[in-house]
Amino acid sequence: MKSAWDDSGCNNPAGPLIPSPLPLFPLSSVLFPGGLLPLRIFEVRYLDLIGQCQREGKPFGVVALHQGSEVRRAGAPAEEFLQVGTLAHLRTVERPQPGLMHIVSEGGTRFRIQSARQLPHGLWTADVQALPDDAPVPVPDDLRQVATALEQLLDSWRARAIPEDQWPLRAPWRWDDCSWLSNRWCELLPLPPTVKQQLMELDNPLVRLELVGDLLARHDKA
């Protein structure tokens, strides 16, 4: 028996396989491709969603809220979210007790919402169009310091004996990839969600890395 959102179809035969409609998880944060997203799940609509994604090996979509809250509350404003999001692929699922899940997902392909609807039990689903993945662009010499700064940050975590499985990013380390490097810094920097969303939506990884370099330079001068 299929769920209300289950479909093996793909909305873009030339691109990645995306469930159609795609179940959505609106959050107050932004997920970048290749990024890690730990979540504590306790709402029934999301317990059901994660259980089905785990059984069927399918992703869900993470979108950033611009109105409403992550957890439904009586009298709270209706959920409204931005139109560009990121696929989330489950990496670990733990069930410490009934009605509670601890999960870690990894960001995949970005997508744009074409239409969205809310099911009776509160879960949002959407028809989406996959967006192109970043083209591979090597880090230019004038931005090498951005990679060096991230390597130094990782070295500081090692020096403090912080286990790698507690780091907010994981290997493989792609120090010469503008997309990977810029996305990891976008996750780590204390930027407003609106700025992170704008950076995530950029289709040029070199421009994104240049902006990150400017932000780091300003931080160093502060």
The three-class DSSP label of residue 186 is helix
Average confidence (pLDDT) over 93-121: 96
Fold exhibited by the domain 22-130: 2.30.130
Average confidence (pLDDT) over 120-141: 96
Average confidence (pLDDT) over 116-120: 93
Q: Which amino acid is at 124?
A: W
Q: Which residue ranges make up each domain of the chain?
A: 22-130, 141-221
**Distance, CA of 156 to CA of 160 (rounded, Å):** 6
Q: In CATH terms, are 22-130 and 141-221 the same topology? A: no
Interhelix angle for 178-188 vs 205-221, to 10°? 40
Q: Which amino acid is at 163?
A: P
Q: Inform me whether the pLDDT recorded for 13 exceeds 50.
A: no
Q: What is the pTM of this model?
A: 0.89
Q: Does domain 141-221 have CATH number 1.10.340.30?
A: no
Q: Which two tokens stand for residue 55?
A: 């059984």
> What's the pLDDT band for 20 if we cut at 50, 70, 90?
confident
Q: Is residue 32 a contact partner of residue 107, using CB atoms and an 8 Å limit?
A: yes
Listed residue (57, 58, 72) closest to 21, CA to CA: 58
For 23-34, how does the pLDDT look when each residue is reduced to its tens digit (9 = 90+)?
A: 999 999 999 999
**Distance, CA of 56 to CA of 79 (rounded, Å):** 27
Average confidence (pLDDT) over 2-28: 64
For 149-176, how does the pLDDT look when each residue is reduced to its tens digit (9 = 90+)?
A: 999 999 999 999 999 999 999 999 999 9
Q: Inform me whether the pLDDT recorded for 221 exceeds 70.
A: no
